[in-house]
């Protein structure tokens, strides 16, 4: 592949790298678990393509962000969310002169491990996983599992360590005023990843290894915090007047204003620094807004009847799929749709319970309801 055009392209790309911040992650710092020959694309650019062209990426379009099965095309799905995270993060990254390819790959791929029905589905699968395996189920950990052990029929994608780390360390539930990258080796990353299944407090220990990963982590919150308010208002769950005055005075009361205010504050407090930081005023207002959203939106996203219905559905499906595996029912959907295409390594090294959890976690909202209805009918 190396020719005059290749050399000219590499020269142009290198000039861009040389112009990045001294705190940016350079392309030549990319680490893969398996060495590979890169083509015209730099490694993080290559990872962007691997993220968006794999079949699992398409499932974002039918996975819940907050509200499920609403008859309104403007309500956010997981696909909308990851694109907004990417845009917010790349805006911050460009202003801070960071590696936008790394940011985009991590942002678009960060939620690939999310379950159907959003965080409700995650909580239900976590209960099942603890009961059956004595392990926690977390969507960020499942995302890494997807990229390392499930995609490509169980072979996994050889994404860079920096992208995998950003996926593992993203946490939209925990907001900090400052984010300082913590460098990791491949061995240290794997130790954190493996302990995530059994360590209850692992979330407090997961800090991105790159400044770009830190940008993606805070951008996750920036992207959803105001958009969830707009969705709730459209659905009649919330009135804009309910947003506390002290929050509106600092951040604004509309999504675009909230994004703009937090983004510019981060840039002003992080430019030329080896960390990502918000001012104390913006940080306090964001913490208060998250608490308001939880009390006014997230705690009301599902009724008790819906929670009971979906909990029963997940558990019935788990039992049915596990029974199909135990009885070697090759006509079952878990074989026809999932297991028959998986690698021998995956099949031989994965417990039956984990296979079922992997299968359910990858479903879309519509598909899991269809599967449930096919069992109870």
Measured between alpha carbons, how far is residue 242 from residues 55, 175, 285 in Å?
41, 22, 15
Is 210's pLDDT higher than 80? yes
Residue 300, classified by CB atoms within 10 Å of its CB into exposed (0-12), middle (13-18) or buried (19+), is middle
The model's confidence at residue 36, banded by pLDDT at 50, 70 and 90, is confident
The model's confidence at residue 2, banded by pLDDT at 50, 70 and 90, is low
Cβ atoms of residues 216 and 93 within 8 Å: no
% of the chain residues with pLDDT over 70: 99
Is 45's pLDDT higher than 80? yes
Supply the pLDDT for residue 195.
97
pLDDT digits (tens, 9 = 90+) for 290-325: 999 999 999 998 999 999 999 999 999 999 999 999
Is 159's pLDDT higher than 80? yes
Supply the pLDDT for residue 25.
98
Supply the pLDDT for residue 31.
97
Supply the pLDDT for residue 72.
85
- Of 159, 184, 149, 187, the C-alpha closest to 169 is 184
* Interval 164-188 mean pLDDT: 94
Alpha-carbon span 210 to 27, nearest angstrom: 12
> What rounded mean pLDDT belongs to the chain?
95
HEC string of the chain equals CCCHHHHHHHHHHHHHHHCCCCCCCCHHHCCECCCCCCCCCCHHHHHHHHHHHCHHHHHHHHCECCCCCCCCCCCCEHHHHHHHHHHHHHHHHHHCCCCHHHHHHHHHHCCCCCCCCHHHHHHHHHHHHHHHHCCCCCHHHHHHHHHHHHCCCCCCCCCEHHHHHHHHHCCCCCCCCEECCCCCCHHHHHHHHHHCCCCCCHHHHCCCCCHHHHHHHHHHHHHHHHHHHHHHHHCCCCCHHHCCHHHHHHHCCCHHHHHHHHHHHHHHHHCCCCCEECCHHHHHHHHHHHHHHHHHCHHHCCCHHHHHHHHHHHHHHHHHHHHHHHCCCCCCHHHHHHHHHCCHHHHHHCCHHHHHHHHHHCCCHHHHHHHHHHHHC
Supply the pLDDT for residue 266.
98
* Residue keyed to tokens 């964001």: 286
Alpha-carbon span 56 to 177, nearest angstrom: 33
Supply the pLDDT for residue 315.
97
Supply the pLDDT for residue 374.
87
Two tokens at 305? 């009847």
pLDDT digits (tens, 9 = 90+) for 250-304: 999 999 999 999 999 999 999 999 999 999 999 999 999 999 999 999 999 899 9
The model's confidence at residue 38, banded by pLDDT at 50, 70 and 90, is confident
What residue segments make up the domains of the chain, in order of their start? 29-300, 304-376
Measured between alpha carbons, how far is residue 352 from residues 123, 252, 347 in Å?
20, 49, 9
Cβ atoms of residues 307 and 246 within 8 Å: no
Supply the pLDDT for residue 10.
87
Segment among 34-43, 106-115, 185-194 with least mean pLDDT: 34-43
* Interval 161-169 mean pLDDT: 98
* Interval 78-82 mean pLDDT: 95
Supply the pLDDT for residue 297.
96
Supply the pLDDT for residue 168.
98
What CATH number was assigned to the domain covering residues 29-300?
Answer: 1.10.3210.10
Alpha-carbon span 273 to 260, nearest angstrom: 20
Supply the pLDDT for residue 376.
74
Supply the pLDDT for residue 1.
54
* Interval 92-97 mean pLDDT: 98
Supply the pLDDT for residue 99.
98
In sign, the C-alpha dihedral spanning 263, 269, 271, 276 is negative
Alpha-carbon span 362 to 345, nearest angstrom: 19
The model's confidence at residue 173, banded by pLDDT at 50, 70 and 90, is confident
Alpha-carbon span 183 to 108, nearest angstrom: 22
% of the chain residues with pLDDT over 90: 88
pLDDT digits (tens, 9 = 90+) for 235-253: 999 999 999 999 999 999 9
Alpha-carbon span 353 to 125, nearest angstrom: 11
Is 339's pLDDT higher than 90? yes
Two tokens at 244? 């506390």
């Amino acid at each position: 592949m190396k020719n005059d055009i290749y050399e000219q392209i590499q020269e142009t790309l290198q000039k861009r790298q040389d112009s990045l911040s001294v705190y940016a992650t350079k392309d030549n710092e990319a680490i893969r678990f398996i060495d590979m020959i890169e083509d015209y694309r730099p490694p993080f650019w290559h990872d962007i393509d691997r993220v968006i062209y794999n079949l699992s990426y398409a499932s974002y379009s039918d996975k819940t962000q907050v509200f499920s099965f609403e008859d309104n095309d403007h309500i956010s799905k997981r696909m909308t969310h990851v694109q907004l995270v990417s845009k917010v993060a790349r805006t911050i990254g460009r202003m801070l002169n960071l590696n936008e390819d790394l940011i985009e790959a991590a942002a678009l791929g960060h939620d690939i491990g999310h379950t159907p029905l959003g965080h409700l589905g995650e909580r239900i699968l976590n209960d099942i996983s603890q009961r059956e395996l004595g392990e926690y189920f977390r969507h960020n950990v499942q995302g890494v599992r997807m990229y390392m052990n499930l995609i490509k029929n169980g072979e996994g994608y050889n994404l860079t360590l920096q992208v995998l780390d950003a996926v593992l360390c993203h946490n939209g539930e925990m907001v900090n005023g400052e984010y300082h990258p913590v460098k990791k080796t491949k061995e240290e990353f794997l130790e954190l990843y493996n302990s995530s299944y059994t360590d209850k407090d692992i979330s407090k220990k997961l800090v991105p290894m790159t400044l770009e990963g830190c940008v993606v982590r805070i951008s996750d919150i920036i992207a959803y915090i105001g958009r969830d308010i707009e969705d709730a208002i459209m659905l009649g769950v919330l009135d804009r007047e309910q947003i506390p005055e002290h929050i509106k005075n600092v951040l604004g009361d509309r999504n675009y204003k909230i994004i703009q205010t937090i983004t510019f504050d981060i840039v002003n407090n992080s430019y030329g620094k080896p960390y990502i930081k918000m001012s104390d005023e913006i940080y306090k207002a964001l913490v208060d807004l998250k608490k308001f959203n939880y009390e006014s939106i997230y705690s009301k996203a599902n009724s008790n009847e819906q929670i009971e219905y979906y909990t029963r559905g997940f558990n019935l499906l788990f039992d049915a799929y596990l029974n199909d595996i135990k009885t070697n029912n090759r006509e079952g959907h878990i074989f026809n749709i999932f297991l028959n295409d998986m690698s021998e390594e995956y099949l031989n090294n994965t417990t039956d319970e984990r296979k079922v959890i992997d299968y359910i976690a990858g479903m879309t909202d519509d598909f899991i309801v269809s599967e449930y209805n096919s069992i109870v009918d």
